[in-house]
Amino acid sequence: MEKISLNQPAEQKVLKGINLIEKGDLPDNNLDNTWIELQGSRGQFLAKGYLSAQNKGAGWVITRRQEELDLAFFVTLFQMAWNKRQAYHAYRIFNQDGDGFGGLTIDFYDGYSVFSWYNEFIYSQRANIIEAFQKALPQIKGGYEKIRFKGLDYESRHLFGQEAPETFTVLENGVCYQVFLNDGLMTGIFLDQHEVRGSLVDGLAAGQSVLNLFSYTAAFSVAAAMGGAAETTSVDLAKRSRELSQAHFEANHLELDHHRFVVMDVFDYFKYAKRHDLSYDVIILDPPSFARNKKKTFSVAKDYHNLIAQSLEILNPKGILIASTNAANLTISKFKEQIEKGFGSQAHNYVQTYRLPADFQINKKDESSNYLKVFTIGI
């Protein structure tokens, strides 16, 4: 195991409990995709971890103890993570450094597991990790993997055990969602939004008209419909979104008469809605952190205020906005600044705030670990 001495600022980060290793923390070296031992400015042991480039940095601290990172370590890691979780049909079993190992997430879908590898090194360790996982949780029927770094010629495949049906339903808050485990990087539902969907199921939009923008498979729309929404409109640029969205509604035996699925750029839809005098009681905004199409680019950090401002033009009096982002590089205060810029002089009040749900364990020493930020806002 290679030993690396950290400079004093990086040493302080490790001592504070931050697990992400950034390029600026390291002295000049050519190491990558390897286990490392981190030493302090006096040569003392600080931690063990690994180096591997991913979008969040250069590597991860794994343990601050002098212990072996072997099969038994992973077995214990997975058993501890499983014991913390609540019994949704679909939830996160293991969440990166929140559960003690950055670069890896594992999700559970009604008996099946989905591993996401975020860098080359963690991918190179997958045989050991999978063996430990199966020892720790033999009740899991089968496993799939998602490749979330560049360089391989596939994104998704079956890993072990039984193969899941091509599509099947999972239950959350009394609502059925159709999922698929081996079709690209997505699965049909974003698990970190349990609680926000729960608020819609509980009647936040009862009797109201709902506009769901960047809707993906319209999971928010289904939750709103099951909670008594009078009508929903789901807008997404992806052509496949219509088919996937309808599948959720059909899984819950909902008639489609009052539920529309629109394949269109969101900013074009704002213009369409204004031309046709359309307005809504509840508008849901959950865009990707960054997106580009032929006409424009969109960044949550710079452009979210435009979404707020244009939504207000088609939001009914006493309406509700649900403003959401999963951008880890955007603090909750900076996100709120974007929201306030969008509202301008329009009176409003923050009704509810959501962060990651309990199954998405976080590193409480590192705010960026708690990446989800959702505000329910009334006018």
Q: Which residues does residue 282 pair with via DSSP β-bridges, in sequence order?
A: 210, 320
Domains 2-63 and 190-378 share a fold: no
Q: What average pLDDT does range 311-340 have in this prediction?
A: 96
Q: What average pLDDT does range 282-306 have in this prediction?
A: 87
Q: Helices 241-251 and 219-226: crossing angle, nearest 10°?
A: 30
Structure confidence at residue 299 (pLDDT):
85
Helix intervals (H) in the chain: 8-16, 71-84, 120-124, 126-136, 194-201, 219-226, 241-251, 266-275, 300-312, 332-343
CA distance 178 to 41: 53
Structure confidence at residue 98 (pLDDT):
96
CA neighbor of 187 nearest in space, from 223, 151, 148, 224: 148
Reported confidence tier of residue 153, pLDDT bands at 50, 70, 90 = very high
CA atoms within 13 A on the CB side of 270: 15
CA neighbor of 104 nearest in space, from 64, 54, 138: 54
CATH no. for 190-378: 3.40.50.150
Mean pLDDT, rounded, of the chain: 94
Question: Quick one: how many helices (H) and strands (E) in the chain?
Answer: 10, 21
Reported confidence tier of residue 341, pLDDT bands at 50, 70, 90 = very high
- Sequence spans of domains, the chain: 2-63, 71-161, 190-378
Reported confidence tier of residue 289, pLDDT bands at 50, 70, 90 = confident
Structure confidence at residue 294 (pLDDT):
67
pLDDT tens per residue across span 204-259: 999 999 999 999 999 999 999 999 999 999 999 999 999 999 999 999 999 999 99
Q: Which fold has domain 71-161?
A: Transcription Regulator spoIIAA (3.30.750)
CA distance 190 to 107: 11
pTM of the model as a whole: 0.93
pLDDT tens per residue across span 26-65: 877 778 899 999 999 889 999 999 999 887 789 999 999 9
Percent of the chain with pLDDT over 90: 87
pLDDT tens per residue across span 180-211: 999 999 999 999 999 999 999 999 999 999 99
- Burial class, 289, CB count within 10 angstroms (exposed 0-12 / middle 13-18 / buried 19+): middle
CA distance 14 to 102: 14
pLDDT tens per residue across span 79-127: 999 998 866 689 999 999 999 999 999 999 999 999 999 999 999 999 9
Structure confidence at residue 87 (pLDDT):
63
- At the top level of CATH, which class does the domain 2-63 belong to? mainly beta
Token reading at 252: 């819950």
